[in-house]
């Protein structure tokens, strides 16, 4: 299981490198914000640990906070990226 996961890890790393080759400067911040939203996937980790029966009040409180944090990361991240790109489009269209 570990070896398979490490293989996936390495391959995903190369995909990440390959995807970002040429990016216009204006898209740097939206792209950062977009990748930021994607690592909100840590939400899944919190869901699994809490869902599969974490016990004890302190652990449950910590995990609820973790889920809230993850949700903020995901929801806020995608919304902010969308707003940034909306601004980008509004500025871009008159030129075309």
Partner 1 sequence: MSWLQDPATIQCLYIVAFALFIYGLMGLTGPRTAVRGNLIAAVGMAIAVLATALTPGMGNWWLILLGIALGTAVGVPAARKVKMTAMPQMVALFNGVGGGAVALVAWVEFRQSNGFTGEPLYVSIATLFAAVVGSVSFWGSNVAFGKLQEILPGRPITVGRMQQPLNLLLVLITLFCGVAVVAGGTSELLMIGLLVASALLGVAVVLPIGGADMPVVISLLNAFTGLSAAATGIALNNTALIVAGMIVGASGSILTNLMAKAMNRSIPAIVAGGFGGDGTTA
Total of residues contacting partner 1 (CB under 8 A): 82
3-class SS of residue 53: coil
User: CA-CA-CA-CA torsion for 25, 29, 35, 40, nearest 10 degrees?
Assistant: 180
Q: From residue 69, how far is each of 19, 36, 51 by CA, in Å?
A: 27, 13, 16
Interacting positions 8-67 with partner 1 (CB under 8 A): 8-9, 12-17, 19-56, 58-60, 62-67
Closest distance to partner 1 from the beta carbon of 94 (Å): 14
Interacting positions 77-96 with partner 1 (CB under 8 A): 77-89, 92
**2 versus 94: smaller Cβ distance to partner 1:** 2
Closest distance to partner 1 from the beta carbon of 84 (Å): 6
Q: What span, in angstroms and rounded, lies between the C-alpha atoms of 71 and 34? A: 15
């Amino acid at each position: 299981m570990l070896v398979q996961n490490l293989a996936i890890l390495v391959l995903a790393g190369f995909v990440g490198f390959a995807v970002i080759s040429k990016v216009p400067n204006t898209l740097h911040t939206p792209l950062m914000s977009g990748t930021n939203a994607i690592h909100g996937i840590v939400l899944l980790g919190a869901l699994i640990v809490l869902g599969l029966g974490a016990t004890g009040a302190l652990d449950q409180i910590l995990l609820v906070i973790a889920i809230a944090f993850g949700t903020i990361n995901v929801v806020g991240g995608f919304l902010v990226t969308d707003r940034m790109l909306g601004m980008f489009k509004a500025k871009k269209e008159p030129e075309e």
